[in-house]
Every structure is written in structure tokens, then in C-alpha cells.
Amino acid sequence: MSESVNRQILLVEKPTGKLGPEHFKLTQGAIPEPKDGEVLLKVRYISLDAANRAWMHGATYRAAVEANTVMAGGGIAEVVASKDPSLKSGDIVFGDTGWQDYAAVPAKHLGKMPKLEPMTHLLSVYGIAGLTAYFGLLDIGKPKAGETVVVSAAAGSVGSIVGQIAKIKGCRVVGIAGGKDKCDWLVNELGFDAAVDYKDGAVFKALRAAAPKGIDVYFDNVGGDILEACLALMNNRGRIACCGAISQYDGVPSATGPRGVPGLIVVKRLIMQGFIVMDYMDQRDQALKDLQSWVASGKLKVQEDVINGLENTPKALIGLLAGENRGKRMVKV
């Protein structure tokens, strides 16, 4: 190894309000020695996700992150030393490496990745983002050709793929995003039928105009007021795929839920269903096959937002929570 220092970013304090740079500290540690069953990883790309912020609130589908430890986060890494027969030097893996140059991680917690270029696609379209879009839309949303699909955080890593898959399936697709630039991009570059700028006020009216036949599938990345507006516009027997609640991650949790729950759910016979992509890992090969063929044919465009330098990871997450990214954001270590 050419470097002997392990740069690490610690979460020094759990935020009680908005996340800021003051909650993180760049420090240096030793490069760890892998124990039996572990491998030593050189981290290549760190994934930035709204879920990073959610973990600071407490245990979710994983344990809460704790103050004064290396900030948790998924990443693509290369095996540089192995004490487990299942992985060898040079293998590429995905796992919770944390925000650091090097990590020693049990091999059983890692997923071996195919070697493909660009490697960044392993974090975007062929990673959690692409699989989340694929399974959430197709398995929970169950869109049928001709139906109207609405997706929020539509310019984000998951949303931009959800909308494109819905187009591939023959649906009318409406994206909700923040700002005219993102909305124009969704329609002009990604082929969405319409886009609603939630920063422009009057979301309900704009959404009703963009979905004149009502909403059959709503892929919810945000919760809050936008979920409430969509609930009111859902058609009978509509499906809501609950993927996240980014509007409620950064800051004090919302004191209330959306109006219309459960009233509209009853009257319209809606299904609201939460999911996490890990539950679908046994079906991953089929998903990757579909995603690869759509990318190869040009039907699915991959948008990535790569930021350079481990030291910029906190800023990259803070910006993601503020909605500044377009497509999948990651840090090149």
C-alpha cells in the first residue's frame, strides 16, 4: 500500500436540528489489520443517501449511528488484503465501509460486485438506487400501461430511474422536483411527460393539471405535504410505494402526518406499502439483467453526480439533503 494513513470522518455529535459541517470532524487513524473472516478494503466511492441522515435519529433497519465514531455509509471498495476465503485481493465489493480511506469489514457483510466500467454505475443504476427504483416501482407500485405514475424527488438517484422505468412500462409519468432546471431536465432529457416544481407553490393545483386522470401509482420519496397532495389525487385502488421521507429526515421530526390517512385510504381502497430494497436481494439478478438491457438500448439514462475528495463528504451529504444533486451523488475517495 502506498499510503500509511487512514483518513476518517467522525460524526462528533448527533444533530438535534439541521445537519451542518460542525457535526463532523476529519481525523486520521491507523490502517486497520483485518482479523480472521475480515478483509481490508480501500474505499473507492462513498454513496450519499438521505438514509445517512435518518440513521442519526435512531435505529431503523440498521442500528443508529453513534457520536464520536466513523460516520456510517455504503461504498464501493477494493479488497487489498483478505483473511476470508470468499474474497481475494483486487475484488470489488459493496458494503458499509464508513466514511474513510480504509476499513476492515467481515467478508460476510460485503457483496461482491461485477467488474464493470464505469465503476460508479455500481452505486447508481446497478446499485441500491437502481434496485430500489426497480423493485419499489414494479413490485409495490405495479404500474400498468396507460396508468399515471407520479414520483417525488424525481431528479434524485432513485426518482430519476423510477420515472424512466415507468415510461418504459408505458405509463404517463409526472415528476415532482425542486426548481425549474430540474423540471426541464426531467421532461427534456429523461422523457417525463410532465414535471411539477414544488418550490413554485401550489403543488396540488399543478399536480392536478399534470395528472388530469388522477394518480394510479405514487412513488413517495419525501412524505409530508407532497404525500398529502398526492393522496388527495389518487384514483381508486391506487398504490403508494413508501420509499422514504426525506422531507422529515433533516431536522425535528414532523409533529403530524398527512391528512387523509386513513380516510382516503379507506374510501379509495388504496394500498400504502413500505419496503426496503434489501428484502429483494434474492431477485437481484433479474433486476440487473433488465436494468443493463435498458441502459444498453439507451432507454434508461444514467445520471451521476460525483464529488471529489473524502474531505468533501459532509458537505456532499448536507447538499444532498438540501436537494442540490441531480441523479446519484457519490464521493470519489
Do residues 258 and 224 lie in contact, with contact meaning Cβ atoms separated by under 8 Å?
yes
47/63 Cα distance (integer angstroms) = 18
Q: Which is nearer to a copy of itself, 266 or 281 (CB)?
A: 266
Give least dist CB 160 to a copy of itself, A.
19
Do residues 167 and 143 lie in contact, with contact meaning Cβ atoms separated by under 8 Å?
no
Residues 55-94 that bind a copy of itself (CB under 8 A): 60-61
Residues 31-60 that bind a copy of itself (CB under 8 A): 60
Residues 251-290 that bind a copy of itself (CB under 8 A): 253-276, 279
Strands 304-308 and 328-332 turn out to be: parallel
Identity of residue 193: D
Q: Which is nearer to a copy of itself, 261 or 307 (CB)?
A: 261
Give least dist CB 233 to a copy of itself, A.
15
Q: Which set of grid coordinates corresponds to residue 99?
A: 466514511
Residues 198-257 that bind a copy of itself (CB under 8 A): 220, 223, 227-228, 240, 242-245, 248, 253-257
Q: Which is nearer to a copy of itself, 84 or 220 (CB)?
A: 220
143/239 Cα distance (integer angstroms) = 9
Strands (E), 113-233: 148-152, 172-177, 194-197, 215-220
Do residues 305 and 326 lie in contact, with contact meaning Cβ atoms separated by under 8 Å?
yes
Give least dist CB 216 to a copy of itself, A.
15
SS (H, E, C) 236-255: EEEEEEECCCHHHCCCCCCC
Decide: is 314 part of the binding site for a copy of itself (CB under 8 A).
no
Per-residue contact flags (x/-) with a copy of itself for residues 158 to 187, judged by CB under 8 A: ------------------------------
Give least dist CB 317 to a copy of itself, A.
19
Binding site for a copy of itself (CB under 8 A): 60-61, 220, 223, 227-228, 240, 242-245, 248, 253-276, 279
